[in-house]
Amino acid sequence: MKIIKTPAAFARWRQKIPAKTSVGFVPTMGALHEGHLSLIEKSNRENRLTVVSIFVNPTQFGPREDFNRYPRPWVEDIRKLKKKNVAALFYPAPESMYPKDFSTEVFVSGLSKTLCGSIHSRGPGHFKGVATVVTKLMNIVRPTRTYFGLKDFQQVRVIEQLNEDLNLGFKIIRCPTVREPDGLAMSSRNAYLTSAERRYAPQLYQTLLYGRKLLTSHPSKSPDQVQKILKNRLSSIPDVKIDYVELVHPRSLQKVEKNRRPILIAAAVKFKSARLIDNILVK
């Protein structure tokens, strides 16, 4: 596996790949888990070569967030990537991605301000950081297909929208959330959970499943009523603060008034040691 550390070096490597060779791309921040590996496997099945990036992008973390303590298990990550026959790892230094005179930001308004982007949650700056870095990464890698997990549903929508709005023409592939046997969505941040929190964490997904049941078997229940019930249920999880639980349209991510599908139920909760997000699409 080739390890490439600057955009210029990547461009040189990329130039040598024949135009007809398909290249799948899996952008990550490292601390690879089964969710990432399933994206790599899908990319391997659908493309001749797979490129993975590991870049803990500073601009998508707020000042009080976990940038410094974000896990960086380099040796383990390399071992996993080699096992999956990844052709190249793009592992840029922050100064090669954001040189001193860097001054362009990509901001997808609307989609970046709801759910995790609301001022009560991570704030719209988070998705500005994501949109900017993903635009850069895709322009550097020039992939045939790029793979994203749907645990970060809002992130996927932001990237799809910028791809559409800026006519970038990248193929964005949505991939299902990979879960632990007890339903907890896989995330690099699950490693922060204490053992007690880990025991309670699957209740987030159970609550979303309950929300889906309420919407589908009680069509007279409004999204507002379902939201109240889900809030109550989430607030009964010990040591949890609700960041949000919302019923939104899966394209606009704006609140829905009527129980008319498709509806995305999205939630974020904070334990003392980790913030978890999850969602379920009710079709």
| Count of residues engaged in binding ligand PAF, rule: CB under 6 A | 10
* Three-state SS at 259: coil
Among 57, 132, 161, 163, contact with ligand PAF (rule: CB under 6 A) = 57
Of 23-31, 73-81, 115-123, 271-279: span binding ligand PAF (CB under 6 A): 23-31
Decide if 162 contacts 131 (C-beta within 8 A): yes
Nearer to ligand PAF, 23 or 134 (CB): 134
Q: How far is the CB of 148 from ligand PAF (least distance, A)?
A: 7
Stretch that binds ligand PAF, among 27-35, 227-235, 251-259, 272-280 (CB under 6 A): 27-35
Helix-strand-coil split of the chain, %, nearest 5: 40, 20, 40
- What is the rounded CA–CA span in Å between residue 223 and residue 259? 6
Query: What is the distance between the alpha carbons of residues 93 and 9, in angstroms, rounded to a whole number?
Result: 12
137 versus 264: smaller Cβ distance to ligand PAF: 137
The string of DSSP codes covering 5-65 is -SHHHHHHHHHTS-TTS-EEEEEE-S---HHHHHHHHHHHHH-SEEEEEE---GGGS-TTS
CA distance 231 to 207: 9
Among 4, 23, 27, 161, the residue binding ligand PAF under the rule CB under 6 A is 27
36 in catalytic set: yes
- Is the Cβ of residue 133 or residue 264 nearer to ligand PAF in the bound state? 133
Residue 134 binding ligand PAF, by CB under 6 A: yes
Is 43 one of the binding residues for ligand PAF (CB under 6 A)?
A: no
The span from the CA of 12 to the CA of 113, in Å, is 37
Shortest separation between residue 155's beta carbon and ligand PAF, angstroms = 6
Verify binding: residue 143, ligand PAF, rule CB under 6 A.
no
Distance CA 256, CA 47 (A): 38
Q: What angle do CA 174, 176, 181 make, to 5 degrees?
A: 165
Q: Interface with ligand PAF includes 133 (CB under 6 A)?
A: yes
> Taking CB under 6 A as the rule, does residue 278 contact ligand PAF?
no
The structure tokens listed for 166 are 């800026």
Does position 266 interact with ligand PAF (CB under 6 A)? The reply is no
Measured from the CB atom, the residue of 152 and 243 that comes closer to ligand PAF is 152
152 interacts with ligand PAF by CB under 6 A = yes
Catalytic residues: 36
Interaction site with ligand PAF (CB under 6 A): 27-29, 57, 60, 130, 133-134, 152, 155
